[in-house]
Chain A
C-alpha cells in the first residue's frame, strides 16, 4: 500500500484539484474536495490504469480506461514504480505469485511434518513400544499377569480337578518355554478362553464341555500358549501406552472433538493389531500341533464351537478384535496341507478323563 498527494483532472478542461491518493494491491482510491466543500472519491481498478513518466512535469501521469478524460499527476517516479510492480505481480500465473509461492512452501512443510508424524505413529512408536515390551522380564510379566488374575477374582469359581488334568495335558504336549504355564479351568457359561501375561491361561468350562476331541484342546492351548510365549498382551499394553502418549503429546492441547477422533482412529489401529496377533497365535499354535503330529482339524473344530456358540454379530471384520472365523478356518486349512497326523494315546487318554 502507498499513499501520495496528487493533482486530479476530472476532465480535459477542468481545473486540477489536490487529491489524496491511496494505491493498494487491486485499486487506486482518489479523494478530493469539490468547490462546494464536500468530499468526492473514485476508485480505479489497478488492472485498467496506465502509468507513464512525463518528463516535462517530472511526474507520473496516470490514466484510467474506465474514465478516459480523467488523469492523475503525482510528483516523482515512486507512483510509476509501484504501479508497474503491482501490475507485473498481478499478471504472473497464480503459482508464480509471491503469496502462492509462500502457500505452496507452507503446504510442503505441513505435508512434510504430517508425513513424519504419520510415520512416527504407524512405524516408530509401535517399533519402540515393542522394543520396550521385550525388555520386560518374564518375572515382571508373571507379576503383572498375577495381579490381573487376582483382580478378575476367578479363583472362587475354579474347577480344581479339571485344572489339574488340563495342566497335565499341557505338560504332555511337551512345549519348551521360559514361562511357567498355569492353566486354570473356571466354571462359567462363557464359551471362551484367554491368556494373561506371564503364563496364566484361563479356560471356561462352557468351552471345555463343547470340545469333542483332544486335537481341539491341543489347538486351544497352542493358541493361548502362543499369546503368552510371544508376549502378545505385554506388547499390546506397551503399544497402546505408546500410542496414547504420542497422541496426548500431539493433540493434548486441541479441542475435545479432535481428541475423540484421534482416539477412535487409534482404536481401529489397535483392532487391526489385535487381529494380526490372533492370526499369529493361530498359525504358531498350528506349528506346535504340526511338530507333535496332532491333527490340525482341531483348529477347525475349535472354531466351529466358537461360531455355534456366538451369535452372528453382523459387525464387519475391521471392527472386530479377532479375524472372521471363516477366514481363520481358511488360512489354517491352507497352512496345514502337508501335515502328518499320528494318534497320541497319552493326550487322548487325558482328554477322555477330562470329559468324564
Chain B
C-alpha cells in the first residue's frame, strides 16, 4: 500500500479510481498528560507530551484510512490530507481527519 500526499505516484499511472475515503481519530491528552502539558505551558519549551498525542492521533487516523483503502481494493491512497482540530470543553481533545483518494495503480 502506497500512501502519499501527492496526487500521483511517480512512474505508476492510476489504473482505477476507487473513490474518496476518510477516517478520523479523536484523542484526549488524558489528565496526566494535561498536567505535564500544563507544566510545559508554565515553563516553556517543546511539549513532547502533546506531540506524542498528536502523533498517536495521526497514526490511528492513517491506519483506519489504510484499512478502508484495503477494503476498497486499493493498492495506493493518493492526495492524502490531514486536518487537525481541537474539540471538547476547553479544547481538551484533538481530532485528526485523514482524507484521500483510494486508487489502483
List residues of A whose CB falls within 8 A of some B CB: 1, 3-5, 18, 20-22, 24, 29, 31, 33, 38-39, 41, 103, 106-107, 109-110, 113, 253
Contact = CB atoms under 8 A, between A and B. Distances in A.
Given A109-B35, A109-B36, A22 B70 contact: yes
Contact of A24 (B2, B35, B63): B63
Contact of B32 (A5, A24, A38, A109): A109
Contacts of A22: 1, 63, 66-67, 70
11 contacts: A1-B59, A1-B66, A4-B1, A5-B75, A29-B67, A31-B70, A39-B72, A41-B70, A106-B33, A107-B32, A110-B35
Interface in B1-46: 1-3, 31-33, 35-36
Contact of B71 (A3, A39, A253): A39
A106 B30 CA distance: 11
A20 B1 CA distance: 4
B69 interface: yes
Interface of B: 1-3, 31-33, 35-36, 59, 62-63, 66-67, 69-76, 90, 104
Contact of A106 (B32, B69, B74, B76): B32
A106 B38 CA distance: 13
B76 to A, nearest CB: 8
Contacts of A109: 32, 35-36
Given A18-B75, A31-B70, A39-B70, A3 B32 contact: no
A100 to B, nearest CB: 13
Contacts of A106: 32-33, 36
Nearest to A19: B75
A20 B104 CA distance: 10
B58 to A, nearest CB: 10
